[in-house]
A = this chain, B = another copy of it.
Amino acid sequence: MLSNERVAWFNGEFMPESQVRIPFRDSSWVFGDGCFDMTRTFGHRLFKVKEHVARLYRSLRYLRIDPGIAPERMCQLTEELFERNRHLLGDDDDLWVGQRISRGVRMVPGDNLEHHGPNVVLECMPLPLEQRAKMFKHGIRVVVPSQRRVPPDSLTPRAKTHNYLNLVLADQEVRSLDPEAWALLLDVNGNLCEGLGSNIFVVKDGEILTPREQFVLPGVSRQTVIDLAHEEGLPLREADIDLYDAYNAEEAFITSTSICLCPVTRLNGADIGPEGQVWGPITRRLADAYARLVDHDFVGQYLRRYVDGMEARPF
């Protein structure tokens, strides 16, 4: 009989999520010394697992952590995890599915630890479709916080590590000013950079621009949009983008694993993008192409949750 508790994979075994408990001396709990990756399902089908796992192993290499599992096996386990949880999904629901790896417990003098190597967790989580529905209806409000994104020569933003306080605090700050807004950090040079798990794109003079990879997490959704633009014959370029570009953009949108892409309509309190509209033509076209690629109307999936007067609750 199938349980109605989600299962996770933890150091070699599938088990109910509530049983996945981390020793408190784990390096990721005490130092954020770990990394992760995360894909989503579209209509109950996993998306680009291989690409996400490849990025996970680049993060691991940067951190000098050997997870003791080959990438191919990591992909298989990810898929198996999803299969084991699939029966819990509502028809119009979908999941995040991801991997998390810490360096493991630091040895304590005199201790006889059963396990001190990497702690590996594979998990899945329902997408917050309802909480984000309003953004697809009215667009995202974005605010630049006071913090600059950690510079690459301190800690690369390209590794998806468990050191995300810089981004978390930016979000805290922005939401205490506007509870529905998203934080968009500038990089060390004052260019548009990224938010917590999100990449930014602007359309300027008919060209699609996104920050250079050196300063941001190279999102898989970001790459998907880059590829789709190429296929659609839309010019797209990585560039140093600043607020002058953004205020004068014809359109702007955000990508992330869960939202795919969603329009931005306000930046630092100023309206940006197409006058009086949420979806500009390029954003719309890329969203349609994205939906075709994943064979799933992700925009509709969000909008079906929307009810007048509801608030966006950034998850």
Segment of A146-154, A224-232, A281-289 engaged in the interface with chain B: A146-154
Do the beta carbons of A146 and B243 come within 8 Å of each other?
yes
Q: Which of these, B102, B121, B152, B248, contacts A61 with CB under 8 Å?
A: B248
**Contacts A33-B164, A62-B244, A162-B31; A268 near B24 (Cβ below 8 A):** no
Give CA–CA (A166, B163) in the complex, Å. 9
Segment of A39-47, A125-133, A296-304 engaged in the interface with chain B: A125-133
Give CA–CA (A189, B61) in the complex, Å. 22
Chain B residues within an 8 Å CB radius of A166 = 150, 154-155, 163
Do the beta carbons of A147 and B153 come within 8 Å of each other?
yes
Total copies of this chain within the assembly: 6
User: Is A169 in contact with chain B by the CB < 8 A criterion?
Assistant: yes
**Contacts A30-B36, A150-B155, A177-B268; A165 near B161 (Cβ below 8 A):** yes
Do the beta carbons of B156 and A244 come within 8 Å of each other?
yes
Chain B residues within an 8 Å CB radius of A143 = 177
**Contacts A166-B154, A190-B148; A29 near B33 (Cβ below 8 A):** no
Of residues 77 through 135 on chain A, the ones whose CB sits less than 8 Å from some CB of chain B are 100, 102-103, 106-110, 121, 123, 125-131
User: Is A73 in contact with chain B by the CB < 8 A criterion?
Assistant: no
Chain B residues within an 8 Å CB radius of A64 = 169, 172, 176, 270
Chain B residues within an 8 Å CB radius of A189 = 153
Do the beta carbons of A108 and B121 come within 8 Å of each other?
no
Chain B residues within an 8 Å CB radius of A149 = 154
Do the beta carbons of B154 and A30 come within 8 Å of each other?
no
User: Is A277 in contact with chain B by the CB < 8 A criterion?
Assistant: no
Closest to A190 in B: B153
Do the beta carbons of B242 and A156 come within 8 Å of each other?
yes
User: Is A178 in contact with chain B by the CB < 8 A criterion?
Assistant: yes
Do the beta carbons of B32 and A164 come within 8 Å of each other?
yes
Closest to A165 in B: B163
**Contacts A61-B248, A148-B153, A244-B62; A8 near B24 (Cβ below 8 A):** yes
Chain B residues within an 8 Å CB radius of A23 = 18, 20-22
User: Is A159 in contact with chain B by the CB < 8 A criterion?
Assistant: yes
Q: Can you identify 11 A-B contacts, CB atoms within 8 angstroms?
A: A21-B24, A25-B123, A33-B165, A62-B243, A63-B169, A109-B315, A110-B126, A151-B188, A156-B243, A158-B244, A161-B165
User: Which residues of A does B touch, CB under 8 Å?
Assistant: 8, 10, 17-18, 20-34, 36, 58, 61-64, 100, 102-103, 106-110, 121, 123, 125-131, 143-156, 158-159, 161-169, 172-173, 175-178, 186, 188-191, 212, 214, 240, 242-244, 247-248, 268-270, 315
